[in-house]
Amino acid sequence: MKKEFLKKTRDGLKKASARAKMLTAAAGISCMAALSSFAADASGSGSADISSVLTSSFQSTAETITGTVTSALPVIMSIVGLGVCIQFGIRFFKRFAK
């Protein structure tokens, strides 16, 4: 059964596109980063509530990603807007150059 699962997984990865492979790897890394928080025990009793730990880990990860996107988006949009303006300007002047 284990060999069949590994074979199916290998075949699926061979067929998957590069983007799907990247997204799968990113999802796996983010899940593993969230699981490392199990080592921290807030109550000190030796047991941890898995759902609350995962929820808080994913919330903090989402807040970090949102903060990064929020700070980088205005700069990226201004660069993209400048590129679009230059492209339209070149098209505009090419019409009159003919």
Distance CA(60)–CA(74), nearest Å, equals 22
**What is the pLDDT, as a whole number, of residue 48?**
62
pTM > 0.75: yes or no: no
Residues in the chain: 98
pLDDT band at 79 (very low <50, low <70, confident <90, very high): very high
pLDDT at 89 over 80: yes
For residue 82, the model assigns a pLDDT of: 93
Quick one: CA dihedral 4, 16, 69, 66, positive or negative?
A: negative
Q: pLDDT tens for residues 10-65? A: 777 777 777 777 777 777 777 676 666 655 555 555 556 778 878 888 888 889 88
